[in-house]
Structure 1
Amino acid sequence: MQNSVGVSVYDLHKGCPSVLKSMYHERFKRDPNLPLFKAALSTSSAPTYFDPYSSEDYEDLDGTSIEFKYKVDGGVWANNPSLIALVEAQKAFNKELQEINLLSIGTGQSVFLENKRTKGFGIFYWILNNKKRIIELFMQGQSQQAENLISLLKNGIDKQEPDNFGYLRLNTIFENEVDSIQMDETNQIKLKDLEVRAMNAYKRNKGEILRMLNIC
């Protein structure tokens, strides 16, 4: 059985977001011949951490040559890709909203707060002094808005509607900057803490996860 895979990237060569897709719909003929490791390298190329990923051209299923240049992390436009998955399930698999169970797994989220500072929000604050606050703010804002829209679709305004579909978000929140995990984190204590947080999140939600996956 073929797995259905969608990988979000941003194409700097064309200046647009993109989702690399396996052939889970008869019209998806562009990407099935693209090796999965190249898709992974593309979506892992986070700006300021790695250079954009480029590779040699490949052929789509019709034999047309496809350029594959300057791909970066899809997190720049879909840090929480839950909405993409929801739309794909409806349009590519012809599923009604009520038929969908969506399991979303996060990688940890820092709480970005700045409610005491009144000035000094220049370039030094946002991107210098060994900080990447502007990136953290963009990423967090995207993820939070995806959560808001999922909630609106799931339970309506002010959560007044019964569940319209199954949805579970697994994530851990870092309440302060000291505890937060960077994308290039090497501190073994922090990495172990992240592992413990992930296991605790799984244990708390194990029953619901198994139910959504129709394992129990």
Structure 2
Amino acid sequence: MIDGGIFANDPALIGLLEAADKLNQEIEQITILSLGTGCGRHIIKKRWRPKDLFYWLLPKPRLLDMILDSQAQITEQYIAFIRRIFASTGKEFGYLRVQHDMGGDTIDLNASSKKDLARLEAIGGELSKSNLQKIIKFIKQ
């Protein structure tokens, strides 16, 4: 179950850097359509602490979910930061992120039941319908 998603849950930043560095692409020539797989919502309050370590690990791996979501969120922040830097020099690259907010109702990383797969398919269908015009406009630019 270990793959690029553990390290690069949102590989947009890696793609941007490799296109610019390894493929010698000018930043204005780069366009990234980033399709997410859903993000959860993890809230930690200073006064609230789980009773023990097992809360983070069993029965749902909350700690892993938080790490993966955090990695994707920081990637979006880095992309936004890089876009601001380039915009200040008159350069920019195209970037669009399409992501579903799962709220607190996430689907386990290794879920494969018919119910979970049907839910993922429904989420994907809804995302494509609600973002189709935005994606088409983005691609045409």
Bin for the TM-score computed over the shorter chain: 0.7 to 0.9
Normalised to the residue count of structure 1, the TM-score between the two structures is 0.56
Residue 133 of structure 1 aligns to which amino acid in structure 2?
Answer: R
Q: Which has the higher contact order (CA 8 A, sep 6+)?
A: 2
Counterpart of 1:143 in structure 2 is 72
Cα RMSD, aligned residues only: 2.7
Q: 1:196 aligns with which of 122, 129, 140?
A: 122
Higher-Rg member (1/2)? 1
* 1:168 pairs with 2:101: no
Contact 2:41/2:102, CA 8 A, preserved across alignment: yes
How many residues align? The count is: 140
> What whole-Å deviation, never above 9, does each CA across 1:1-42 have from its counterpart, x for those lacking one?
xxxxxxxxxxxxxxxxxxxxxxxxxxxxxxxxxxxxxxxxxx
Q: Please state which structure has a larger fraction of its residues in strand.
A: 1
Partner Cα separation in structure 2 for residue 149 and residue 92 of structure 1: 19
List alignment gaps of at least 5 residues for structure 2: none
Question: TM-score if structure 2 supplies the norm length?
Answer: 0.81
- Hey, what's the Cα distance between the residues in 2 that align with 1:170 and 1:163? 23
Structure-2 separation of matches of 1:180 and 1:162: 40
- The answer to which structure has the higher helix fraction is 2
Q: Do 2:10 and 2:71's aligned partners in 1 also have CA atoms closer than 8 Å? A: yes
Alignment counterpart, residue 205 of structure 1, candidates 118, 125, 131? 131
1:192 deviation in Å?
Answer: 2.3
Secondary structure of the residue that 1:102 maps to in structure 2? strand
Structure 1 residue 107: Cα displacement: 0.9
Contact 1:82 1:146 in 2 (8 A): yes
Q: Please give the residue correspondences for 1:87-106 in structure 2 after superposition, counting only pairs within 5 Å.
A: 87-106=17-36
Specify whether residues 146 and 121 from structure 1 end up closer, same or farther in structure 2 by C-alpha distance, changes over 3 A only. farther
Matches within 5 A, 1:44-193: 45-46=1-2, 73-115=3-45, 118-120=48-50, 122-128=52-58, 130-156=59-85, 164-176=92-104, 179-193=105-119
